[in-house]
Structure 1
């Protein structure tokens, strides 16, 4: 759900090939992530897949957004991000809330409009009854990514201007994440435009940005000892804790953050394996990755279908897998239709 941009400027045919390969695995990784999003929303709440998926699938999107991010003037970032993220957010909000309002009698009252305005501004993926905040569903990600891109641009611009080193930047992003976690989870104060959550997600974006800038994956990330350590961290994280960004659930914070990064690293490595070993899977996942934004947007609006309890699937073996496949196919077909219009 991010723009695919070259990791580095090609200077030779060899470098061009390497850059292209990196773009391919990035799209595959995003394809894996969007498939996990749909799967995580379709399987039963008590399924062991839920903590395994939620531990890293949304962090992976933010990490990939950082990996493909290029520092540009704030106005440029704001305009391009608004076009790609805020406009879809507004469309999804209007369609979903409009559909909901049409089901109600006397829906257009001042109280209802005030509730809608608060819901739109806070853009929360989960309700906060104490603050009177209702959720916007999965559209939270669009607003959160938009604000994260803006904040990352502001911070990186400042760091470049004042020559702030990467270790100092890391400390700053850790402090920001700590504030976001305390505000959102501990104090249960949700800020407008997902700002409390953005303080956390911008850190994931920074990790992706630094990974590309330092060529971390090629130099260290895909080495066997690092991958083994990542696997151990990831398994420990989903076994002993739980992470869900939209709900502001951060579990055992150091373990969950490490687990999210570790799971994302493993997903990127798997993406490179797919690229090297299967042309068919590569083609499929590249399609999913390159169209992940459209797929996500259509997925945001499919809640009126009871995927988990489809009568036609009752009694069938692997019904959750079939439901996930049908839900994915639905989003893909609408994506193909939208691309033809």
Structure 2
């Protein structure tokens, strides 16, 4: 593989900006058409990217360690540090806090801790990290099974399509489950590590894995791009369907999936075009993509807090507050990433240890998806 794939770096930067904007007041609170458009493809896109850089040649033990290092480590470090910070301010129910962190769905993390202003969704996006860890392990097992059974591409696609459709239909069912934890009972929506989302997320992940060579060597087709844009627009205009994996919403198995696939191609095409333009544009989006892990982790906290402070302290609300909080939610994690990748102690906690271990030179960067920090070879989250 080539050392760099600029269009994928750019696409990853575009994708994480959509994630942040999707959680912004302008989109999330109004639930308008823009919400439906963004949510119809932005998370499938990151699972697709994760599949591009999945390495099935690694042993299961090596894969598990690497994914723990790049996905679970920053997840637990962040929430342990946050829990300690909360304790300094007010009492904390450790049992419930631990149960929510270990269950790790958007719902359990949404109510992880609420302040007097009812702001409780600081850490919901972190469900992606734990789910991607689970997803990569299951993908390794699934691909190994396919190869052991010597299944051709058609049986594989047929199995995955059936599995995907079953998961998409089941997603709209009531997935409330009671979680028993040291004598207490809590109810969270979804299964631990969002296990119930696997049929759908695995489909997008494997799609990226099977198409990786074509995506790495992306060749823009104008007719295909125009077709994707047309289908994407018609689906949204005629059906207004979307998805919200965090909330277990998948409006239509066919239409919503078609929107996601078209959205993925459109994003790659736009990234390819940006990569052909001014170098500074490509560098900006690429660096945003490199910082995507820290943007994912901290954007909701910064965005929600800054919007609240702008509204209550400065009297700024609505669109202006939304745009300011969006800018801060992107800029501050990027600044933090700049520091983290240069201070090995910080990098040890948030970035893959194999690339930042003391006395070793940082490894050459590879594009990666949302999950793994600056120097991972896989997909993010």
> Post-superposition shift, 1:144?
0.9
Q: Report if the CA contact (8 A) 2:23-2:300 is conserved.
A: no
Deviations 1:155-193 (A, max 9, x none): 111112222122222222223223333443223242222
Cα distance change on mapping 1:316 and 1:85 into 2, 3 Å: closer
Structure 2 partner of 1:53: 38
Runs of 4+ in 1 over 6 A off after TM superposition: none
Give the paired residue count.
Answer: 312
Structure 2 partner of 1:125: 106
- Alpha-carbon distance in 2 for matches of 1:101, 1:242: 39
Cα distance change on mapping 1:217 and 1:256 into 2, 3 Å: farther
TM-score scaled by structure 2?
A: 0.74
Please give the residue correspondences for 1:164-313 in structure 2 after superposition, counting only pairs within 5 Å: 164-189=151-176, 190-213=190-213, 215=214, 222-239=220-237, 240-299=240-299, 301-302=301-302, 305-307=305-307, 310-311=310-311, 312=314
- The SS at the match of 1:302 is helix
Structure 1: segments with no counterpart, 5+ residues: 1-5, 7-18
> Post-superposition shift, 1:64?
0.6
State the structure with bigger RCO (CA 8 A, min sep 6), 1 or 2: 2
TM-score scaled by structure 1?
A: 0.82
Deviations 1:252-306 (A, max 9, x none): 1211111111101100111110110121110001111122112222325436614
- The SS at the match of 1:277 is coil
Q: Report if the CA contact (8 A) 1:85-1:142 is conserved.
A: yes
Deviations 1:62-90 (A, max 9, x none): 10111122212211211101100011111
- Alpha-carbon distance in 1 for matches of 2:51, 2:81: 29
Structure 2 partner of 1:36: 18
- Alpha-carbon distance in 1 for matches of 2:89, 2:230: 48
Higher helix share: 1
- Alpha-carbon distance in 2 for matches of 1:179, 1:164: 21
Is residue 146 of structure 2 the alignment partner of residue 144 of structure 1? no
Structure 1 partner of 2:375: none
Deviations 1:14-53 (A, max 9, x none): xxxxx356x1111111100111111111142214322221
Structure 2 partner of 1:9: none
- Alpha-carbon distance in 2 for matches of 1:179, 1:119: 27
Q: Aligned Cα RMSD in Å? A: 2.8
Q: Report if the CA contact (8 A) 2:232-2:263 is conserved.
A: yes
Q: Report if the CA contact (8 A) 1:307-1:327 is conserved.
A: no
Cα distance change on mapping 1:292 and 1:43 into 2, 3 Å: same
Cα distance change on mapping 1:78 and 1:300 into 2, 3 Å: farther
Q: Report if the CA contact (8 A) 1:181-1:196 is conserved.
A: no
